Amino acid sequence: MGEPLKNHFGPDVPRRIGTMIADVWPAFDTKAFVAAALEGYESLELKQRAQHIAKAMRVHLPPDFPAAVDVMLASLGPVLEETESFGMAPFLYFPHIIFVAEHGLDHF
């Protein structure tokens, strides 16, 4: 049996997301975000981990959804033309998708 997918979505994911956000929004408290995102992280499955990171993003990004999305979008970097050979790399953005799905309905 293969390795669980959640193992490819380890503690490095919230750390990387935190760094990406801090690179474009210096007021971001990376240390507090990572601590919140990693609390109870180990016992969670893949989707639960992404949801947990999205909850931490909600707390640590600007409270105004459009402002939060502006920061989030700026943190993503350049648009990729293809991702065919990236394997699990696009899963890095799973928390971003959940964040928008859970908090963006009033901002369609």
Q: Are 9 and 46 within 8 A, CB to CB?
A: yes
pLDDT at 30: 97
Q: Supply the pLDDT for residue 83.
A: 65
In percent, the amount of the chain with pLDDT more than 70 equals: 94
Which residue ranges make up each domain of the chain? 5-76+87-102
Residue 7 pLDDT: 84
